[in-house]
Amino acid sequence: MLLEIKHLSVAYESAQIINDVSFHVEEGELVSLVGPNGAGKSTVLRAVAGLINWEKKTMKGIAQSDIKLTGDIRFDGHSVFNLMPHEIAAQGLVLCPERRRPFKEMTVLENLIAGGYLCKNQAELKRRMEQVYTWFPRLKERENQISGTLSGGEQQMLAIGRSLMMKPRLLCIDEPSVGLAKKVKEELFQRIREIRDSGITVLLVEQEISLTFQIIDRSYILSHGQLIAQGRGEELLADDTLRQSYLGM
């Protein structure tokens, strides 16, 4: 098992955001975490990547309140629960965050180089970049363009490309489809499937159920900070209550 979340709970002040959540992702799988707005999906990813731990220890970040973080997060058999985000990323657990966030003043190429900052081997960096350009040829075409001027879809490709430059073993992607046109979403989801086919394990948080369920191996449904179901896409959709109440379909 590559990722194992055990009894994860997160509370900001008195608000219990995640309540005793346990799940796992096997090596090589593409697993999604879906559920209604505000269910706590991004919070789970932020906990996995060490960002909540960082907020708690440094009193920085988006939390302006007391944080309670309990449970355990194991990556490749070892606990990463008490590690800082950069230590977790160095182990190959990489988060591609919500709202894309490229370094907007930098070019596409500079963003990709920044993503590979931990790797000192130039030949390896070049290999990684060529792989990113194979998946996203548009980035190659726009290599010298300032990232802030890219379209939304291109910025999302760049955000994923930058994460891939870290050579993740597990890539967590938070809502990549937000604000994109249907055709762009479809293309992006195909690339995510290809990334998984290349051997990179993927944990995908999404609200776009129909496209997500076309590419995943399994999914978990989160609602009000608790896991309420898991299974293959077609199994979850076959349940009328789940489909109507939690998947909005």
Ligand X SMILES: Nc1ncnc2c1ncn2[C@@H]1O[C@H](COP(=O)(O)OP(=O)(O)OP(=O)(O)O)[C@@H](O)[C@H]1O
Q: Which residues bind ligand X (CB under 6 A)?
A: 12, 15, 17, 35, 37-43, 62-63, 65, 207
Rounded Cα gap, residues 136 and 83, in angstroms: 32
Cβ-based nearer residue to ligand X, 91 or 226: 226
Q: Residue 133 Cβ, how far from ligand X at the closest point, in Å? A: 30
Cβ-based nearer residue to ligand X, 132 or 227: 227
Rounded Cα gap, residues 20 and 17, in angstroms: 10
Q: Residue 46 Cβ, how far from ligand X at the closest point, in Å? A: 7
Cβ-based nearer residue to ligand X, 99 or 104: 99
Q: What tokens does 237 get?
A: 């959709």
Structural contact between residues 246 and 223, judged by C-beta atoms closer than 8 angstroms: yes
Rounded Cα gap, residues 147 and 143, in angstroms: 9
Q: Residue 215 Cβ, how far from ligand X at the closest point, in Å? A: 19
Degrees to nearest 5, angle at CA 27 with 169 and 206: 75
Q: Residue 85 Cβ, how far from ligand X at the closest point, in Å? A: 16
Cβ-based nearer residue to ligand X, 17 or 160: 17
Give the torsion sign (CA, 64, 9, 156, 37). Answer: negative
Q: Residue 236 Cβ, how far from ligand X at the closest point, in Å? A: 17
Q: Residue 31 Cβ, how far from ligand X at the closest point, in Å? A: 16
Structural contact between residues 249 and 210, judged by C-beta atoms closer than 8 angstroms: yes
131: closest CA among 97, 107, 89, 163?
163
Cβ-based nearer residue to ligand X, 29 or 174: 174
Cβ-based nearer residue to ligand X, 48 or 157: 48
Structural contact between residues 26 and 1, judged by C-beta atoms closer than 8 angstroms: yes
